[in-house]
Amino acid sequence: PCAARPAGRAGGWLFGNGGPGGLGGLGGTGGAGGNGGFLFGDGGPGGSGGAGNAAVNNGIGGRGGAGGNAALMSGAGGAGGVGGIGAAGAAGVNPGPAAPNGSAQGGAHGAPVATSVVGSATATSGDGGLGANGSLVGQAGGFGGQAGAATATGSSISGVIPSLAATSGGNGGAGGTGGMGGMGGQGGLGADNTATATASIGATATATGGLGGTGGTGGSGGDGALGGAGANNTAVAAASGSVGQARATAGGGVGGSGGNGGIGGNGGTGGAGGTGTASAAGGTDPNTAKAIAIAAGGLGGTGGAGGTGADNAGMGAAGGAGGTGGHAGLLFGNGGVGGAGGAGGQGGLGAIGGGGGHGGVGGSATATATGANSQAVAVGGDGGAGGQGGTGGAGGGGGVGGAGGDGGSGGWFGQPGDGGAGGGAGAGGHGGAGGAGGAGGQAGVGASGNGSDGQVGADGQAGADGQAGAAGAGGSPGRR
């Protein structure tokens, strides 16, 4: 398919024009134009070069065939054939995930803390450690360490001294980055934290904190990991006297963000928000006693961003050179015009960006209040926003236009042929499409109201278009 085509048929023994050369096959040279007759006759035009093909000569367009020479005494030289267009560059390709190959070392768990005292008790637990990064092809990043649990118990043995209990849970550790083509490590979980306060006239319990760890970033071609779930927090306050006032406040921990995708990989899903559970029991006196329980579900984690598309789109191949113009007759006739160079091939399409991760589900909330003047409020957590889609990869550069063919020499009383025009520059390839934004997380449920669903993530931007190639140089005019 890439062989040069046969030359055009020659003119008659004394008179006659040469025939045209044939079209070149894929990437092949066009056939030369036939020569004119022995004494009088024009040379035939050269055949066009074949279009470039990636499997032949690196995709370069075929050279145009040479124009046929005129007869000995008189006649115009044949025009050179046009060079073939260069082959288009290959489209960009994302590396894709590798075969799973185990996981790196996970992070250490956070230290739990438990405090139980008369009066005011507080407890702040430790954070989980970071997961190790994957170092092998296909190895996932290590899981983030789980946070330590915080437990605080405050009590009062006197009828006039109130009690207080407050916990602040530690955060889950971030997951490690995946190895080449490996998934990121899952973010560590927030621990379950509990605050309990008991007294006669006044008890206050507050339980908050405990963020889930961020999911690890995927290695090149790998997906981001799931974010860690937020802590489930519980607050219990009980004031046993008839005039007792109890207040319990619990907020679920926020889910960790999903990990970002590696090159071309999808973002991870955000972690679920933790639950909030509040229970308050006050006294029975209608004038003084009070019981208030407020609970809120934790926010779902934001989805991870999609990875950028790979920048490996191929460059368009060069256009083929134009054929040379044929020589004129010895005495009369103009030389043949050189063939125009072939246009450069268009650059390849850029690779698509990875999709954004889904937002995490919001946490649920439960509140219970008993006694005189009791009030219970429970609102579910909002779902996490979807992650943004990844930016598309850049398009490939356009190919260089082929050089124009040289003009043929003119006869003694004729003009030399003009050189052929250089081939046009190949257009740059279009940038890859941006990845789709992730879906928002579902709202958490509460008796006083549900949270809001998370917003859909923004679609990624298209990649940059490739640069156009350079135009080919024009051919030289023929000699007299």
**Amino acid symbol at 407:** G
Q: Which residue has the tokens 């170092």?
A: 135
Q: What does the block give as tokens for 437?
A: 């934004």
Q: How far apart are CA 200 and CA 75, in angstroms?
A: 122
Q: Where are the domains of the chain?
A: 122-314+351-398+448-473
Q: How far apart are CA 355 and CA 341, in angstroms?
A: 43
DSSP string, 433-453: PPPPPPPPPPPP-BTTB--PP
C-alpha distances out from residue 436 to 305, 356, 439, 464, Å: 10, 6, 9, 17
Q: How far apart are CA 382 and CA 361, in angstroms?
A: 8
Q: How far apart are CA 108 and CA 89, in angstroms?
A: 49
The single-letter DSSP state of residue 162 is: -
Neighbours of 287 (CB within 10 A): 7
Check if the beta carbon of residue 254 is closer than 8 Å to that of residue 337: no
User: Block means of pLDDT (10 residues each) for the chain, length 480 residues?
Assistant: 50 67 81 82 90 92 92 89 94 94 95 91 94 96 96 84 92 96 96 94 95 96 97 96 95 97 97 98 95 97 96 94 91 90 94 96 97 96 97 95 91 87 91 93 92 94 92 82
Task: Return all residues near 288 (Cβ < 8 A) that are at least 6 apart.
Answer: 243, 245
Strands lying side by side in the sheet with 163-169: 120-124, 163-169, 202-209, 245-251, 290-296, 374-379
Strands 163-169 and 120-124: parallel
What's the whole-model pTM score? 0.84
C-alpha distances out from residue 428 to 71, 350, 357, 433, Å: 45, 10, 31, 15
Q: Which residue has the tokens 């940059």?
A: 464
Q: What is residue 165's predicted lDDT score, i.e. its pLDDT? A: 95
Task: Return all residues near 304 (Cβ < 8 A) that are at least 6 apart.
Answer: 215, 217, 224, 225, 227, 257, 258, 259, 260, 261, 267, 268, 269, 270, 356, 357, 387, 438
Task: Return all residues near 248 (Cβ < 8 A) that are at least 6 apart.
Answer: 197, 204, 205, 206, 235, 236, 237, 278, 279, 280, 292, 293, 294, 367
Please work out, in degrees rounded to the nearest 5, the angle formed at the alpha carbon of residue 280 by the alpha carbons of 276 and 284: 165
Coil, helix or strand for 61? Answer: coil
Q: How far apart are CA 114 and CA 355, in angstroms?
A: 43
Q: What is residue 59's predicted lDDT score, i.e. its pLDDT? A: 94
Q: How far apart are CA 54 and CA 26, in angstroms?
A: 9
Neighbours of 165 (CB within 10 A): 31
DSSP string, 255-309: PPPPPPP-TTPPPPPPPPPPPEEEEEE--S-TTT-EEEEEEEPPPPPPPPPPPPP
Q: What is residue 41's predicted lDDT score, i.e. its pLDDT? A: 87
Q: How far apart are CA 46 and CA 325, in angstroms?
A: 8
Check if the beta carbon of residue 83 is closer than 8 Å to that of residue 51: no
Please work out, in degrees rounded to the nearest 5, the angle formed at the alpha carbon of residue 35 by the alpha carbons of 60 and 337: 55
Q: Which residues pair with 278 in a beta bridge?
A: 235, 367
Cα 83 to chain centroid distance, Å, stands at 38
Q: How far apart are CA 209 and CA 195, in angstroms?
A: 12
Q: What is residue 437's predicted lDDT score, i.e. its pLDDT? A: 92
